[in-house]
Each structure stands twice: as structure tokens, then as C-alpha cells.
Structure 1
Amino acid sequence: MPVIDVTKDPRTLTMTIVAEFPVPVRRLWDAYADPRQLERFWGPVDWPATFTRHDLYPGGESHYLMTGPDGQQAGGYFEYLAVDPGRSFEVLDGFRAEDGSKDRQMPTMRMVFTFEETDAGSRVTTTTHFDSSEQLEQLLGMGMEEGTLSAMGQMDAVLADRQSFAAGQPVRTQLIGEDRARLSRIVHGTKDQVWRAHHDPELLTRWQLGPDGWSMPVCEVGTAVGDTYRYEWEQEGGGNRFGFTGEVLEIEAPHRVVTTESMTGQDSPPVVNELTLTEVEGGTLLSLLMTFPEGARETVLGTGMADGMEASYARLESEVLAAA
């Protein structure tokens, strides 16, 4: 059990949990920074979590859903108040209603996570601040302490699994619910470099090409909310031309951008893409959460999209970022 101390202080209205691990601070921090890892230990053993948004930067948010053994679901969110990469982050932690909105009728807590080196590895100290003694008693009565200890008891296995989440792995596809998929990969480059590569037309036309033998004759980029974009590709010789267009819904450089996506010439509901960049060991974790129209997910993924993305990201590393 990694937890070495739990202190509940009714005077300061806090609960502090200290846990130590035989890994470097960088490895421990990345377990919290990477949603693929965090969701393997954020929920208790019988209430695993799925993160549909994870923006580890000041002003960002994370959204998650925990599912119980009988299918019950409970949603939560973080609002990031402060982030000192590799050292600490502070969040407002609250509940989400069934429709996904923030449940203002339920209590919220301020949580501070602090990371530091030890002689044997690293330590994370989690301090939860409550608004009142009544709130403290309410949340402890709901099983907050037991749930947190159960969740953190899973961390050793996650931290030991370096290979699954390391740089050098190809694009990974995770199905979420009935109409979402998260595609993720660590790209060898800084967050600023990867962001620029996604928003500079000259760079985009050099790497976002999918398999060999394709070019990108049309590359119109959207860089502000309300902008539209248009990309078109064709094979060598001018055959099989196709393209996508859409609108920028949200953008927070160099962290996150949300866009719609529709194939040109088709009148169908768009896909919504949420791209998030997070710096981790080995480069920048790129997470693309795609929300598909009803019944379209398997069809789109079945086109070999992940393989095409992997070819593009490999080209981004070898032909753009390696020369930067």
C-alpha cells in the first residue's frame, strides 16, 4: 500500500494523504498528467473512472465518469486553479449532473497535489480543503476517505507499467461509451512545436498526409473561434481527391482546440474533435477525443484512420520536428 499517512484536521478543515513510490518524480507526475493512466487509479477498485477531458493547465478542466459494479454512474470535474509542472497542481473538484453539467447543488472541494523527491523515489501529498465542518463530515460520510485509499492502492501497478504509455508506441485507440473514441500518441517534440505543426499551413502540408503517395493541395487553417478550415488530399497523379471542412469551436493555444469535422460534399452531422496537448516524458502527449454522429464510429474507425494518423505522426517527427 503506497499510502503512508492520512491526517484529518477538523480545525483547518483538511484531509491530507501522503503516498510514496519507488519511481522518479517525473514518472509519478506523468501518471496524473496522462488521462490514460489517471483513469486506471482515480476511481476506487469497483468504481473505475473514464476521463473524457483532461486539460492540465491553469484555467483548464477535466471531466470524468465513474461506473459502479451495477452500472451506476457518478460524474466529476476538476477546474485547474494553478499548475507548476512537475511540482504541484491545484484544482476545484466537484460533481457533475446526469446531463454532464456541473452540479452546483453538491459540494466542491479545493485539492492541492504536491510532488517531491525522496531518497527512495518520490512522494505525492494530496491536501483536500473543505468549506465547513458539515461538508467535511458529509463527504467523509459518503466514503471519500475509503474511496481515495482504494483508488491509490492501484497506483503501484500503473507506475510499474512504463511500456504501455511510453514514447515510441503507435497511435492507441480507446472506445468510450457508445459514440466516442480517444486516439492518443506521444510525439517527440515540445508542446509549442507540436501545436505549431498543427496550425502552420506550410508545416501541415509536409506531414499530415497519411500513407506515402499523397499530397495536400488545399490547407486552409482556422486559428480563432468561429474560423472555418478546409483540408484536401489527393494521390500522386491527381486521383482520389477528398477533403474535410469544419469550424473552430474552442481554442486555447498551445493546449487545446475543439473543431467540427465533415467530409466535403456530404450532408451529414459532423464529428466533434477535441485535441489536447500535454508535455510528458519523451515529448508531448497528443489526445484526440472524437465524438461521432450516432452509429458512425465503427464505420469511420474501420477506414484505417488510426494507421493513417500513425504514418502522419511518424512523418511529423522525422521530417518536421527533427529538423526544428
Structure 2
Amino acid sequence: MGRRRKKRSAEQLDGLLVLNKPSGPTSADCLNDIKHQLKQFKIGHAGTLDPMASGVLLVMLGNATKLAPYLSGATKTYAGTLKLGMTTDTLDIQGEVVSEAEVTATAEDVEREILFWKELTEQEVPAYSAAKHEGKPLYALARAGEEVPVKIKPIVISHVEVLDVNMPEASFRVSCSAGTYIRSLVHSLGIRMGCGAVLTSLNREQSEPFGLDGAHDLADVLEHPATLPDKVIPIRDTLPHWPRFQLTEPLSGLVKNGAWLPVNDEPGEPLAGRLGDQAMLLDQDGEPMALVEAKLQDGKPKWAILRGLWGQG
């Protein structure tokens, strides 16, 4: 027998909640509060924030959980602070101190090393992280005293600026590819400077294209459950940087049957695009149908279905 599908709660919403996560709880803690207090039993998030970190956390509700791969990969922007002269096992101020050293560097040295982050193309994944090895989170291995394998991952740092240097501390802003560990950037700076460094605060200002200006505080979300629907962005508006094409009823039927639709090569026309473009298809009523990408099929460009969005999650 197949697995019985859980009954959808009457309160379940479909869409995106841009949350301003407070410092302290884990990302999972925040979701659990929303899940159980507001009966949003189908829920997920795009891009984990460490407990110490605050800021933009994209919370997907209901059918919007299907969008996870397309929301998680966006560029992130953070503002943070660091402190020189020490290292910890977690690479941030909340960990156990591993070493301390005198700071002899100048403010100019610190500024130069922060700006050097833009030259980095890879980094070591922190031992205390949710990255997995053979199905186990690295933090679980570290807490159990087991050997944690060294994992190197590619990164892209698109923007760096120094906000202030007041030795032995400094503040900065950085825009980077999804999955970049700011703790590791700070740790690498400490190694290059020979005195160690730890992250002392972090605030995610943007998970493109959503920023803090449109984010809702967790306390406000939980304390005013009746206003939750007003805070949730409809699925059709969750990828505003993607083109949207509204289909006729016959074309909607074809898409539901898995058909790839021809790509129109006339700019500005319905279903127009080029190979590699991604778009959202809407049905005749303007409801989300599918996410698609322009690919070749039998030598001709077609809109290939990446993810169906029709039906309730």
C-alpha cells in the first residue's frame, strides 16, 4: 500500500513569508513555532541561518515548498562584525575558545584583508555546520568527538565593503553565492593575519530578490495570526525576476499532461525566450501552473517543465 497523504489543515496557506529571524533560535525553531502555533504544517525554508545570525529567512508555505531549489540558490547579502585575536571551534563568538593571540595588525591591514575576500573562489566548510557527510550533519560528528572530514566548496563573492574598523573589531558587508559561510571568511582572514578572528554578529539583509524592508518579525507573525494571510506573498509573485506567461485553457491542459510548449523567438510576445531562460507559466485564471526552462527538444527550443505547481500542496 502507498503512504497515506496527510490531510491539509484548513489554515494552511500557499506562498512565501519573508521572515526577519531574530538572533538566538535556530531556523528550524522559527519554523516549528509557525508550524504548530499557526497550523502551517507544510512548511520549509530557503537558506539556513545560524542561531546567532538574524535577518531574512525565506519561509515557504504549502505548495510554495516546491520552489525551494529556485529560492535557495539566490545571492545573499550580509552585514557582520568580527573580532581579531582569537579562534573558536565554531568560528564564531559563541564557540569554545581554541586559541588567543596578540593583535599587531593595523586598521589598514584589516581593511585590505576584508576586501581580499572578493578574490576567494573556495572555502572550507566549518566543522560545526549542517553540511552532511555520509548522511550525518558535520556538527553531529563534531559534538560526538568524531573526526570531521574537511570539505571544500566553491564560492562567489560579488561585493565586499568595509563599514568600520575599530581595532580589534571591524564591521563589513558582503554579497555572496548561496551556501557561503561568513564564519569561514572571517576565520580565513584571521589565519592570513596570524592572530585568529571570529564572527561576532551577522545579519542577512537580503536573499535576492527579497530584503529586510519586506520582512516580518517572528514575534509579530506569531502574536497576530489573523494577519498571516496578508503577510504571505502569493506563489505567482515569489520569483519576480522570472518572466510570467499566462496560458489559454487548451495550452494549460497540455502542460498538465507534461507537454513542452514551443519557445517564441519574438521578444515581447507570449512564450518568448532564448535557450536557458526560465519562466513561470500561469493558467487561464492567472494561477501558477509550472516553472519551465527553455531547452532543446528534437533540435527545437521548447519550454521544458522544471516543476509543476498546480494542485494543493
TM-score (norm 2): 0.23
RCO greater where, 1 or 2, for CA within 8 Å and sep 6 or more?
2
* TM-score, length basis structure 1: 0.22
Q: Give the number of the structure whose residues are more often strand, by fraction.
A: 1
